[in-house]
Structure 1
């Protein structure tokens, strides 16, 4: 079971590497890693388990955050309705952004990261909509279109497999400046 002790923090060189493609067909090891990553996200969002296991809440996790330089990400975005299914819950192997909107978006509260133990103020501007291709745990190629919050979560995790941290997107001179037309998601 993955805990916060398994998650490397900023400064670790693995977080700045471009991760290696996962070979297909997927190995049992890579499938198991994806399942463990998803289990961590679900546990981190369960108030009782999160407290019991001392987990910070997360909606996404990338293999490089576990010091494993592979192109594997897990995302588990809960619905605003507590009884509804998550709006996005999947493990993506070798995810790629195929296309994106001209419009940009950012989260009004900024972004956080399980590998960053500090507040980093500022807007993290990303694409408002993205089309992603990836392989699922069965080795099937998938294509998905995402917008707004889900798109931002997946772009954050894809950044991790490309050696990019969320704060690399913040305007250093003026962290809260935005170009006209950027969608701010609350």
Structure 2
């Protein structure tokens, strides 16, 4: 996989490049040190994944990611930061980042990149535990107003609980293909991009 690394600490960039390129399936095709460079590198190099810090001068990683994902809905961005501030986590989820991991958990960087490359979303345990309380609200949403059926709401609920398509199929006595098709339909109905945004939508509106 082709990865662009952006961090305001140049030594961190060098270290990450060394660590990642020790893996046969990973190539670091570019490095940068602020959000503006991240956008330029992403547009010019079209990496499979952008691995980016959050707090940086000139433009933050969150601002860069939002700009990139507004234009490229399929973009894969993984945040790697020392900060687990609630506001950062919520923003990362809402703009559609594929993951948010903490630098101190360095051993998770390579597995996280591989998971994101395969289409999964990756959030460290310390981040996942915060999500429901961060994005829940007292506002209730009538899901049926968006054309969501009871069966689809059951699927949404299980997606929000972190179950895989196979696990959902077993729980609801459906085929895995049926679950996959239903999730695609649900995402289209709610104008959402992926399972992570669907989980955020559920917790925000339940």
In terms of fraction of residues, the more helix-rich structure is 2
Structure 2 length-normalised TM = 0.29
In terms of fraction of residues, the more strand-rich structure is 1
Greater C-alpha Rg: 2
Structure 1 length-normalised TM = 0.31
